[in-house]
Amino acid sequence: MNTTDYLQESLEKFIKKYCWSEVIELSNAYPERRSLFVKFCDIDNYNPKLAGMLLEDPDVILPVVTMNLREMDIPTGVTLDNAYVRILKLPTQVRIRDIRSEDIGKLISIEGLVLKATEVRPRIVEAAFECPFCRHIFSVEQTERNFLEPSECPGEDGGCGRKVQKFILLQDKSKFVNAQMIRLQDSPEDLRGGELPQTIDANLENDLSGIVSPGDRINVVGVLRSYQQITKFARTCFFVVYLDGNSIEKRKEEFEEIRITEEDERRIAELKNQPGVYEKLISSIAPSIYGYAEIKEAILLQLFGGVSNMLPDGTKLRGNIHILLVGDPGIAKSNLLSHISKLAPRGLYAVGSSSSGVGLTAAAVRDPTDFGGGRWTLEAGALVLADKGIAAVDEFEKLRKGDKEKLHEALEQQSVTVSKAGINAKLNSRCALLAAANPKYGRFDLYQPLSKQIDMPPVLLSRFDLIFTMIDKPDKESDRNLAKHIISAHALGELTKNGESDETEDFEDFKAPIEPNLLRKYIAMGKRLNPKLTRAARKRFEEFYVGLRSLYDADNVVPVTARQLEALIRLGEARARTRLSPKVMIDDAERVIDLVNYCLKTVYVDPETGKLDVDWVTVGTTKTQRDRSRTIVEIVQELEKEYGNEVPVKEILDLAEEEGIEREKAEKAIDELKRDGICFSSSHNVVGFVR
């Protein structure tokens, strides 16, 4: 028996022994389903030699097993003439950065993050040509990346045998398959410190095309192939590798999917019952950074997250918590973000000022390289790549205008829609955003609205559940404690580097009460729960919200909106998860109300009146400022009766003083009206309405 007959017989027996029920299922679903999925371990159990041949010489084995499947007599009477065999779960994974020349031509398995994907297009696999002289029709298999054209009419196949400069391509007699190219990158969580992620392209055909999107984490099994690099002048000695995909599995690597052993469960149960576990959890967030207890508590709750829900009418209620840190430079904002991006399984750190062409969301771009071949490709940004994780974005104030506009959908709807050049796609961005921004004038100004200090639309700021200001205020005691902490940190770093210890120094503040690996598993356990609000917690949230809303009702000030109530619920659910509890209790409600109150009093307070006014952040002006502008407009309208279309500024300021408005604030209000296009000024001395 020759090798081909041996392979055919062995593979046919294997399919009938291990995959017969799956073949019957496939025949019942054919042609909607076209793939028979085979686990590598089943082949290995059946015939280890055959399994070894599959890994070493897949171009021989895969065509034979596919042909066997297509030629089988199936009781259902269906002929699987266009079915494919897909191999799953190879014994080893190859990191993209570890691919070597020895792997070319072999069947390998790669895990990675989909960075970009082309649109699905037809690719010719068997081209039919017609001879212009004798009209003979023949086919040429297209096995290379470049299109293969014949140079002569094949005489042995009934043709005339002439050399022909140009044959006629018959598209209707040619064979096509659906094809797509994707670019995979090493997953950030799989990289060791200092390693740069590397990429590889994968070719997907038939029913594999169009099933993955940028941002997906996938496992691709395929044959590693190569082609020669060509410059404008010559062929080079270097080759580019790519993967010819055979199967795809979407990978789930989020907190909920972290493997937790029985020993882990025992340790988590012990930790849960320890007194002060909540404070220990907070102290385990970036212990090397001094202070910021409230911010660390908020970030802890962000890691646990709230519960995502779907209402009967299809409305989605997000569970992810978004946090914005705004403050002076040099107060550890970037370090906080970096720490959290490493702690979360799907954490991704990005900088607003250096985000790529697609920015933070996603975009359709024309790719002139070999990858896209001039076609439009769909590329994912940081929020899509961090799907089901946390995106830590530094220098948030430096985002491009286009990104700011796209963030509305990404933050609230947890998706990014791209409609361009015939591409209409919706990508998931189900991540929590932890953003840090610096005021554009250097230091944070309590008397300027937040939206103007970081050049961010107020409506976008309203998407954040919690906003913290981090102000560098000189304080002798705090400064001394911070100095001691920083000096101790450097001392600890020197000792660690030299492998030494110093019993005279106390470095307990730098040790996390809960080590990071256990903390991840504790969070993973909590995220598996979907806490429900108890009646008492509901009542407390309701009282807090209604109480704040009615607090300044007489002044027509809007202290909070429904967005703050939704944030409270998400935070309450996250707080319950920190206790590994299925219920949000009254204590959870009280704790998160304290946290929200802290934010409200530091960010949402009208600096002139000291009253809560949510418009200070969400609109960019307070009610006091709007009333002042309205008074100035009324004064100008009254003076127009005397002076016509241009009113002296001095007269306006005099009447404003009579109304109790200071001259400086009145001048500022006039400048705001001019900036908003309501008024104009032909000189410094007169003002008129734009008509």
What pLDDT, in 10s, does the model give residues 351-391?
Answer: 876 655 567 887 777 766 666 566 677 778 888 888 888 99
Question: Is residue 630 located within the same domain as residue 649?
Answer: yes
- The answer to the question of residue 643 being in a domain is yes
Q: Which domain holds residue 40?
A: 3-88
Amino acid at 26: L
584 lies in the same domain as 627: no
* Residue 471, domain member (yes or no): no
Same domain, 51 and 114: no
Do 534 and 587 fall within a single domain?
Answer: yes
- Partners of 379 in beta bridges: 116, 363
Judge if 587 and 556 occupy the same domain.
Answer: yes
> Could you tell me if 36 and 84 are in contact, meaning their C-beta atoms sit under 8 angstroms apart?
yes
In a domain, 97, yes or no: no
Q: Which residue ranges of the chain lie beneath pLDDT 50?
A: 503-504, 554
At which residue do the structure tokens 């799953």 appear? 88
Say whether both 186 and 59 belong to one domain.
no
> Which of 250, 272, 306 represents a domain boundary (last residue)?
250
**Does 647 share its domain with 543?**
no
Residues 678 and 650 in one domain: yes
Cα(449)–Cα(614) distance, rounded to whole angstroms? 11
- pTM (global) more than 0.85: no
The H-assigned helical ranges of 619-690 are: 623-643, 649-658, 663-675
Query: Is residue 571 in some structural domain?
Result: yes
The pLDDT value given to residue 107 = 94
What is the structure's pLDDT at 267? 92
CB 74 within 8 A of CB 51: no
| Angle formed at CA 567 by CA 563 and CA 570, multiple of 5 degrees | 140
Final residue of a domain: which of 38, 62, 88? 88
Q: Show Cβ contacts of residue 365 under 8 Å, excluding neighbours closer than 6 positions.
A: 357, 358, 376, 377, 379
pLDDT in tens, 51-67: 899 999 998 889 888 88
98 CB neighbour count, 10 Å cutoff = 11
Question: Do 208 and 216 contact (CB within 8 A), yes or no?
Answer: no
**What is the number of alpha carbons within 13 Å of residue 13 lying toward its C-beta?**
9
Query: Percent of the chain scored above 70 by pLDDT?
Result: 84
Asked if the structure places residue 190 within a domain, the reply is: yes
Residue 640 belongs to a domain with what CATH number? 1.10.10.10
Cα 223 to Cα 530: distance, rounded to the nearest angstrom? 42
Task: Answer yes or no: is 96 within a domain.
Answer: no
Total number of domains in the chain: 4
Are both 217 and 151 inside the same structural domain?
A: yes
Smallest CA-to-CA distance from 365 within 402, 411, 404 is with 402
* Residue 108 and residue 244 in one domain: yes
pLDDT of residue 504: 47
Cα separation, 453 vs 213, whole angstroms? 36
> What CATH code is carried by the domain that includes residue 52?
3.30.1640.10
Location of structure tokens 């600890």: 492
Q: Are strands 390-394 and 432-437 parallel, antiparallel or unpaired?
A: parallel
Residue with tokens 């969580």: 189
Same domain, yes or no: 153 and 66: no
Burial 225-262 (b: 16+ CB within 10 A, else e): beeeeeeeeeeeeeeebbbbbbbbbeeebbbeebeeee
| Residue 261: inside a domain | no
Q: What is the CATH number of the domain that holds 220?
A: 2.40.50.140
Q: Which amino acid makes up residue 73?
A: D
DSSP code at position 12? H
Structure tokens given for 233: 């002048």
3-state secondary structure of 425: strand
Adjacent-strand bridge partners of 577: none
Distance set, CA 429 to CA 389, 426, 432, 452, 461 (Å): 9, 9, 9, 27, 18
Q: Which of residues 27, 54, 88 is at a domain's end? A: 88
- Please indicate, yes or no, whether residues 122 and 236 belong to a single structural domain of this protein: yes
Assess if residue 368 is contained within a domain: no
